[in-house]
Amino acid sequence: MRFSGFDALFDRARSLGRAKVAVAAAADKEVMEAIKLAEQEGLITPLLIGDVNQIEQLALEIGWNLERAKLIQEANPQEAAHKAVDAIVNGEADFLMKGLINSSDFLRAVLRPEGGLRTGRLLSHLAAFQVPGYSHLFFVTDGGMNIAPDLTQKKQILENSLFYLQRIGMELVNVIILAANEMVDPKMPATMDAKELVAMGKAGEFPGAIVEGPLALDGAVSAVALKHKGISSKINGEVDLILTPTIEVGNVLGKSMVYFAGATMAGIVLGAKVPIVLTSRSDTPRNKFMAITMAALSRTLS
The string of pLDDT tens digits covering residues 274-301 is 999 998 877 888 899 999 999 999 875 5
pLDDT band at 212 (very low <50, low <70, confident <90, very high): very high
What is the C-alpha to C-alpha distance for residues 179 and 216, in angstroms, rounded to an integer? Answer: 5
Q: What is the pLDDT of residue 110?
A: 86
What is the C-alpha to C-alpha distance for residues 276 and 267, in angstroms, rounded to an integer? Answer: 9
Q: Which of 10, 9, 7, 50 is CA-nearest to residue 27? A: 50
| β partners of residue 98 | 24
What is the C-alpha to C-alpha distance for residues 174 and 201, in angstroms, rounded to an integer? Answer: 11
Question: Which 8-state DSSP code applies to residue 211?
Answer: E
Output phi, psi for 56, to 5 deg: -65, -35
- Does the pLDDT value for residue 15 go beyond 90? yes
Mean pLDDT (the chain) is 95
Enter the pTM of the model: 0.95
| Interval 217-266: pLDDT, tens | 999 999 999 999 999 999 999 999 999 999 999 999 999 999 999 999 99
Least confident of 11-25, 63-77, 199-213, 275-289: 275-289
Q: What is the pLDDT of residue 203?
A: 98
| Interval 130-160: pLDDT, tens | 999 999 999 999 999 999 999 999 999 999 9
Q: What is the pLDDT of residue 83?
A: 96
Q: What is the pLDDT of residue 300?
A: 58
Domains and CATH numbers, the chain: 7-119+272-298 (3.40.50.10950), 124-264 (3.40.718.10)
Q: How far is the first Cα of the chain from the last one, in angstroms, to the nearest whole number? A: 22
